[in-house]
Amino acid sequence: MSAAAIPVAQIKTITMSIYRYDPTLDKKPYMQDIIVEVPTDKDIMVLDALHLAKAQEPSLSYRRSCREGVCGSDGMNINGKNGLACVTPLSEVIKRNKITLRPMPGLPVVRDLIVDMKQFYDQLEKVRPYLITKSDSPDIERTQSPEDREQLDGLYECILCGCCSTSCPSFWWNPDKFLGPAALLQSWRFIADTRDEATDERLDDLEDAFSLYRCHGIMNCVSVCPKGLNPTEAISNIRNKLLTRKKA
């Protein structure tokens, strides 16, 4: 979309205050105000506004790919709240013609709005987010009843954008010990899966003071999830499973 193609009457200027850091040039990050012209006759997404800002400041860096909330690349902190720039309408977040964009909190900044997600992926790897089976493979496939399959709704939809874990104070302070909401949601996704045959080992792995129990249920994760998922509920389900397992 080019701003020049839009008639003047349908344009307004907004200020985008953006976190800038280039490791080759800057010792410290700083906030840069970029004035952008956006159309008023239709709503655009924050990502579209970022493209307009990048047209002025080509060095501005951010991740994006599918631009429709499926790939999970453009998670960022928009006016203090994590979200995907591509599915966040500008009209919902803009305040007094201004919008502030920062990288997702708690992870090292590679450049501008791009963070190093290694810590996030390391935690995901720990929960072994894949089916573990011990019995012999059936001839065709491992089947599930529709009811059992339903148990995975609200779990499998996670796109691993990192918005939840990077909005969680427990993850900020212990990103290496507390698994974080995204990894724990995936953990529950496989504990709840009737085809998985490593439930006990999965639960054993979570039975320390940090991995799971650092969640204090403040639900920042739920309030930012762009897919509307509920990691707090998944964590609570794992906790209940750990407790009932001991009783048995």
Q: How far is the CB of 4 from another protein (least distance, A)?
A: 33
- The CA angle 44-109-166, to the nearest 5 degrees, is 70
Nearer Cβ to another protein (52/104):
104
Distance between CA 174 and CA 141 in Å, rounded? 40
Q: How far is the CB of 183 from another protein (least distance, A)?
A: 17
Query: In which order are the strands placed within the sheet that holds 81-84?
Result: 30-39, 11-20, 98-102, 75-78, 81-84
Q: CA nearest 93: which of 44, 137, 143?
A: 44
Specify whether the CB–CB gap between 9 and 58 falls below 8 A: no
**DSSP label of 45:** B
Nearer Cβ to another protein (22/200):
22
Residue 233 neighbours by CB under 8 Å, 6+ apart: none
Distance between CA 213 and CA 178 in Å, rounded? 8
Q: How far is the CB of 47 from another protein (least distance, A)?
A: 19
Q: Around 180, how many Cα atoms within 13 Å sit in the side-chain half-sphere?
A: 29
Q: CA nearest 56: which of 90, 27, 16, 94?
A: 16
Site residues (CB under 8 A) for another protein? 19, 21, 23, 28-29, 77, 79-81, 100, 102-110, 115-116, 118-119, 167, 169, 172, 175-176, 216-220, 222-223, 230, 232-233, 236, 239-240
Nearer Cβ to another protein (32/144):
32
Nearer Cβ to another protein (104/206):
104
Place of tokens 């609570």: 236
Q: How far is the CB of 51 from another protein (least distance, A)?
A: 22
Length of the chain: 248
Nearer Cβ to another protein (39/46):
46
Nearer Cβ to another protein (39/115):
115
Q: How far is the CB of 12 from another protein (least distance, A)?
A: 25
Q: How far is the CB of 13 from another protein (least distance, A)?
A: 23
Q: How far is the CB of 147 from another protein (least distance, A)?
A: 20
Nearer Cβ to another protein (37/233):
233
Residue 20, H or E segment: strand 11-20
